[in-house]
A and B are shown apart, each in its own frame.
Chain A
Amino acid sequence: DVVLTQTPPTLSATIGQSVSISCRSSQSLLHSNGNTYLNWLLQRPGQPPQLLIYLVSRLESGVPNRFSGSGSGTDFTLKISGVEAEDLGVYYCVQSTHAPPTFGSGTKLEIK
Protein backbone atom coordinates (compact mmCIF):
# COMPACT_ATOMS: atom_id res chain seq x y z
CA ASP A 1 0.00 0.00 0.00
CA VAL A 2 1.07 3.60 -0.63
CA VAL A 3 2.39 5.28 2.49
CA LEU A 4 1.74 9.00 2.93
CA THR A 5 4.06 10.75 5.38
CA GLN A 6 2.75 14.03 6.73
CA THR A 7 4.87 16.63 8.46
CA PRO A 8 4.79 18.21 10.90
CA PRO A 9 2.52 16.15 13.16
CA THR A 10 1.50 19.25 15.05
CA LEU A 11 1.53 22.91 14.16
CA SER A 12 0.92 25.89 16.40
CA ALA A 13 0.04 29.15 14.68
CA THR A 14 -1.18 32.61 15.53
CA ILE A 15 -4.13 34.17 13.77
CA GLY A 16 -2.97 35.62 10.46
CA GLN A 17 0.15 33.48 10.25
CA SER A 18 0.79 31.46 7.10
CA VAL A 19 1.58 27.77 7.51
CA SER A 20 2.40 24.78 5.30
CA ILE A 21 1.88 21.05 5.68
CA SER A 22 3.87 18.51 3.71
CA CYS A 23 2.65 15.16 2.41
CA ARG A 24 5.16 12.79 0.86
CA SER A 25 4.16 9.60 -0.90
CA SER A 26 6.09 6.34 -1.11
CA GLN A 27 5.16 6.14 -4.79
CA SER A 28 4.33 8.60 -7.53
CA LEU A 29 0.66 9.57 -7.41
CA LEU A 30 0.49 10.39 -11.11
CA HIS A 31 -2.20 8.14 -12.57
CA SER A 32 -1.88 6.68 -16.06
CA ASN A 33 -4.80 8.91 -17.09
CA GLY A 34 -2.74 12.01 -16.31
CA ASN A 35 -4.53 12.94 -13.10
CA THR A 36 -2.95 12.99 -9.65
CA TYR A 37 -5.49 11.88 -7.08
CA LEU A 38 -4.21 13.62 -3.99
CA ASN A 39 -6.72 15.41 -1.78
CA TRP A 40 -6.56 17.36 1.45
CA LEU A 41 -9.15 17.01 4.20
CA LEU A 42 -9.82 18.95 7.40
CA GLN A 43 -11.38 17.27 10.41
CA ARG A 44 -12.55 19.80 12.96
CA PRO A 45 -13.03 18.58 16.54
CA GLY A 46 -16.04 16.28 16.79
CA GLN A 47 -16.76 16.54 13.08
CA PRO A 48 -16.27 14.24 10.08
CA PRO A 49 -13.52 15.02 7.60
CA GLN A 50 -14.39 17.56 4.95
CA LEU A 51 -12.81 18.02 1.55
CA LEU A 52 -10.69 21.13 1.09
CA ILE A 53 -8.54 20.45 -1.96
CA TYR A 54 -8.84 17.78 -4.67
CA LEU A 55 -6.58 16.76 -7.53
CA VAL A 56 -3.62 18.41 -5.75
CA SER A 57 -4.63 22.02 -6.21
CA ARG A 58 -8.34 22.41 -6.96
CA LEU A 59 -10.30 24.21 -4.29
CA GLU A 60 -13.53 22.53 -3.26
CA SER A 61 -16.62 24.72 -3.62
CA GLY A 62 -17.19 26.88 -0.55
CA VAL A 63 -13.65 26.51 0.78
CA PRO A 64 -11.92 29.85 1.46
CA ASN A 65 -9.17 30.74 -0.97
CA ARG A 66 -6.63 31.11 1.83
CA PHE A 67 -6.23 27.35 1.34
CA SER A 68 -4.06 26.22 -1.55
CA GLY A 69 -2.45 23.00 -2.65
CA SER A 70 0.58 22.29 -4.76
CA GLY A 71 2.99 19.55 -5.70
CA SER A 72 3.49 16.67 -8.06
CA GLY A 73 4.75 13.12 -8.16
CA THR A 74 5.53 12.27 -4.56
CA ASP A 75 5.73 15.67 -2.84
CA PHE A 76 2.69 17.76 -1.98
CA THR A 77 1.99 20.80 0.15
CA LEU A 78 -1.07 22.39 1.70
CA LYS A 79 -0.68 26.08 2.50
CA ILE A 80 -2.93 28.23 4.62
CA SER A 81 -2.29 31.91 3.89
CA GLY A 82 -3.47 33.69 7.00
CA VAL A 83 -4.74 31.19 9.57
CA GLU A 84 -8.14 31.89 11.10
CA ALA A 85 -9.57 30.49 14.32
CA GLU A 86 -11.96 28.20 12.45
CA ASP A 87 -9.01 26.43 10.78
CA LEU A 88 -8.09 24.47 13.89
CA GLY A 89 -8.35 20.71 13.57
CA VAL A 90 -6.50 17.84 11.97
CA TYR A 91 -5.47 17.96 8.33
CA TYR A 92 -5.11 14.76 6.33
CA CYS A 93 -3.80 14.08 2.86
CA VAL A 94 -5.41 11.14 1.06
CA GLN A 95 -4.47 9.43 -2.18
CA SER A 96 -6.73 7.48 -4.51
CA THR A 97 -4.35 6.93 -7.41
CA HIS A 98 -3.40 3.49 -6.17
CA ALA A 99 -5.79 1.02 -4.56
CA PRO A 100 -6.47 0.91 -1.68
CA PRO A 101 -6.87 4.59 -0.82
CA THR A 102 -4.53 5.61 1.97
CA PHE A 103 -4.39 8.50 4.38
CA GLY A 104 -1.60 10.47 5.91
CA SER A 105 -1.28 10.29 9.68
CA GLY A 106 -2.60 13.82 10.09
CA THR A 107 -1.31 17.24 11.13
CA LYS A 108 -2.97 18.86 14.10
CA LEU A 109 -3.23 22.63 13.79
CA GLU A 110 -3.50 24.50 17.06
CA ILE A 111 -4.19 28.19 17.42
CA LYS A 112 -1.89 30.05 19.81
Chain B
Amino acid sequence: AVQLVESGGGLVQPKESLKISCAASGFTFSNAAMYWVRQAPGKGLEWVARIRTKPNNYATYYADSVKGRFTISRDDSKSMVYLQMDNLKTEDTAMYYCRSATDYWGQGVMVTVSS
Protein backbone atom coordinates (compact mmCIF):
# COMPACT_ATOMS: atom_id res chain seq x y z
CA ALA B 1 0.00 0.00 0.00
CA VAL B 2 1.08 3.56 -0.69
CA GLN B 3 2.38 5.30 2.39
CA LEU B 4 3.60 8.86 2.88
CA VAL B 5 4.97 9.80 6.29
CA GLU B 6 5.90 13.38 7.08
CA SER B 7 8.23 14.49 9.85
CA GLY B 8 10.06 17.53 11.15
CA GLY B 9 7.28 19.97 11.99
CA GLY B 10 7.24 22.19 15.03
CA LEU B 11 7.11 25.67 16.50
CA VAL B 12 9.50 28.29 15.16
CA GLN B 13 9.79 32.04 15.39
CA PRO B 14 9.29 34.39 12.43
CA LYS B 15 12.28 34.60 10.10
CA GLU B 16 13.59 31.24 11.28
CA SER B 17 14.03 28.13 9.13
CA LEU B 18 12.64 24.61 9.24
CA LYS B 19 13.02 21.54 7.06
CA ILE B 20 10.26 18.96 6.80
CA SER B 21 10.57 15.53 5.25
CA CYS B 22 8.34 12.92 3.67
CA ALA B 23 9.18 9.23 3.44
CA ALA B 24 7.40 7.41 0.62
CA SER B 25 6.78 3.72 0.09
CA GLY B 26 4.48 1.40 -1.82
CA PHE B 27 5.02 2.85 -5.28
CA THR B 28 7.85 3.60 -7.70
CA PHE B 29 8.90 6.87 -6.13
CA SER B 30 11.43 7.81 -8.80
CA ASN B 31 8.65 7.85 -11.42
CA ALA B 32 6.36 10.17 -9.49
CA ALA B 33 6.13 13.92 -9.30
CA MET B 34 5.69 14.96 -5.68
CA TYR B 35 4.00 17.89 -4.02
CA TRP B 36 3.72 19.74 -0.76
CA VAL B 37 0.26 21.07 0.03
CA ARG B 38 -0.67 23.06 3.12
CA GLN B 39 -3.82 23.81 5.05
CA ALA B 40 -4.01 26.72 7.45
CA PRO B 41 -6.20 26.10 10.51
CA GLY B 42 -9.85 26.03 9.46
CA LYS B 43 -9.01 26.79 5.84
CA GLY B 44 -8.85 24.98 2.52
CA LEU B 45 -6.02 23.30 0.65
CA GLU B 46 -3.19 25.31 -0.93
CA TRP B 47 -0.56 23.89 -3.23
CA VAL B 48 2.93 24.96 -2.09
CA ALA B 49 5.58 23.23 -4.21
CA ARG B 50 6.09 20.56 -6.83
CA ILE B 51 9.10 18.57 -7.98
CA ARG B 52 9.18 16.51 -11.13
CA THR B 53 11.19 13.40 -11.92
CA LYS B 54 14.73 12.84 -13.14
CA PRO B 55 13.72 12.62 -16.85
CA ASN B 56 12.19 16.08 -16.31
CA ASN B 57 15.39 17.35 -14.72
CA TYR B 58 13.85 17.47 -11.27
CA ALA B 59 12.13 20.70 -12.27
CA THR B 60 10.63 22.58 -9.35
CA TYR B 61 7.68 24.95 -9.08
CA TYR B 62 6.40 27.10 -6.24
CA ALA B 63 3.34 29.02 -5.23
CA ASP B 64 3.90 32.77 -5.39
CA SER B 65 3.37 32.98 -1.63
CA VAL B 66 6.51 30.91 -0.93
CA LYS B 67 8.69 31.55 -3.97
CA GLY B 68 12.21 32.55 -2.95
CA ARG B 69 11.73 31.26 0.61
CA PHE B 70 10.91 27.57 0.22
CA THR B 71 12.91 24.87 -1.59
CA ILE B 72 11.58 21.45 -2.49
CA SER B 73 14.01 18.60 -3.13
CA ARG B 74 14.01 14.84 -3.40
CA ASP B 75 16.31 11.87 -2.91
CA ASP B 76 15.15 9.02 -5.12
CA SER B 77 17.66 6.63 -3.53
CA LYS B 78 15.85 7.07 -0.21
CA SER B 79 12.33 7.70 -1.55
CA MET B 80 12.28 10.98 0.31
CA VAL B 81 11.00 14.44 -0.50
CA TYR B 82 11.89 17.52 1.51
CA LEU B 83 10.73 21.09 1.99
CA GLN B 84 13.27 23.59 3.24
CA MET B 85 11.42 26.61 4.59
CA ASP B 86 13.41 29.79 5.20
CA ASN B 87 12.40 33.23 6.42
CA LEU B 88 9.18 31.80 7.81
CA LYS B 89 6.22 34.09 8.36
CA THR B 90 3.25 33.78 10.69
CA GLU B 91 1.03 33.19 7.66
CA ASP B 92 3.00 30.00 6.90
CA THR B 93 1.39 28.40 9.95
CA ALA B 94 -0.40 25.33 8.62
CA MET B 95 -0.56 21.58 8.38
CA TYR B 96 1.81 20.55 5.62
CA TYR B 97 0.92 17.47 3.61
CA CYS B 98 3.08 15.44 1.29
CA ARG B 99 1.08 14.46 -1.80
CA SER B 100 1.89 12.15 -4.66
CA ALA B 101 0.95 12.90 -8.26
CA THR B 102 -1.71 10.18 -7.99
CA ASP B 103 -3.33 12.00 -5.03
CA TYR B 104 -2.12 9.90 -2.14
CA TRP B 105 -1.57 11.99 0.98
CA GLY B 106 0.42 11.70 4.15
CA GLN B 107 -0.96 12.37 7.63
CA GLY B 108 0.61 15.81 7.63
CA VAL B 109 2.98 17.70 9.89
CA MET B 110 2.10 20.88 11.75
CA VAL B 111 4.27 23.95 11.31
CA THR B 112 3.58 26.84 13.66
CA VAL B 113 5.29 30.18 13.17
CA SER B 114 4.86 32.42 16.18
CA SER B 115 6.86 34.71 18.40
- Interface-forming stretch among A19-27, A70-78, A80-88, A100-108? A100-108
| Cβ contact within 8 Å between A41 and B103 | yes
B: number of interface residues (CB 8 Å): 17
Q: Is the CB of A49 within 8 A of B97?
A: yes
**B61 near A100: Cβ-Cβ < 8 Å:** yes
Point out the residues of chain A lying under 8 angstroms from B46, CB to CB.
103
Do A105 and B44 contact each other (CB < 8 Å), given the known contacts A54-B102, A100-B63?
yes
The distance from the CB of B50 to the nearest CB of chain A, in whole angstroms, is 7
Q: How many Å lie between the Cα of A51 and that of B104 in the bound state?
A: 7
Complex Cα distance, B100 from A54, in Å, reads 13
Number of A-B contacts defined by CB within 8 Å: 39
Please report which residues of chain A, range 8-33, place their CB below 8 angstroms from some CB of chain B when the two chains form the complex.
Answer: none
A100 and B45 contact, CB distance less than 8 A: no
Task: Specify which of B44, B45, B61, B101 lies most central, judged by the most chain A CB atoms within 10 Å of its CB.
Answer: B45
Q: Is A92 an interface residue (CB 8 A)?
A: yes
Bound CA span A1–B106, Å: 25
CB atoms of A39 and B44 under 8 A apart = no
What is the interface size of chain A, counting residues whose CB is below 8 A from a CB of the partner? 17
Interface residues of A (CB under 8 A from B): 39, 41, 48-51, 54, 92, 94, 96, 99-103, 105-106
Contact A48 B107 (CB under 8 A): yes
Beta-carbon contacts of B84-115 to A below 8 Å, as 1s and 0s?
00000000000001000111111110000000
Docked CA distance A54–B102 (Å): 8
Known interface pairs A99-B50, A100-B61; A50-B45 also in contact (CB < 8 Å): no
A39 to chain B: closest residue by CB: B103
Q: Which single member of A41, A48, A102, A106 contacts B47 (CB below 8 Å)?
A: A102
Q: List B contacts of A99 (CB < 8 A).
A: 50, 61
A48 touches B103 (CB 8 A): no
Chain A residue contacts of B61, Cβ below 8 A: 99-100
